[in-house]
Amino acid sequence: MNLNRLASLLNHILALVAFLLLFLGILEWVANALGYTLVHQAYRAGRLLELAAIFAIFVATLLLRQLREEIRKGSRPS
């Protein structure tokens, strides 16, 4: 497995985790507004959204790396 394929797989996994944390954070916020909890106060809704943002930063970094590699590959003389 080459490095680009591994980076792409990692990018997909991190994006999925970020979206799941975002969705869970929103659900936790709504549940807290109704007087319930989903994660038993292990993480508050704001912390879940912060974690989702951290994973999104890693996704953006990997996408920028892939973009840089494609630009370098395209600018080489044949």
Q: Are 25 and 45 in contact (CB under 8 A)?
A: yes
Domain that residue 25 falls in: 12-75
pLDDT in tens, 20-76: 999 999 999 999 999 998 888 788 889 999 999 999 999 999 999 989 988 988 876
Instruction: Specify the pTM.
Output: 0.81
Longest Cα separation, the chain: 64
Does a structural domain hold residue 2? no
Domain count, the chain: 1
Does a structural domain hold residue 4? no
Q: How buried is residue 32: exposed, middle or buried, by Cβ count under 10 Å (0-12/13-18/19+)?
A: middle
Does a structural domain hold residue 40? yes
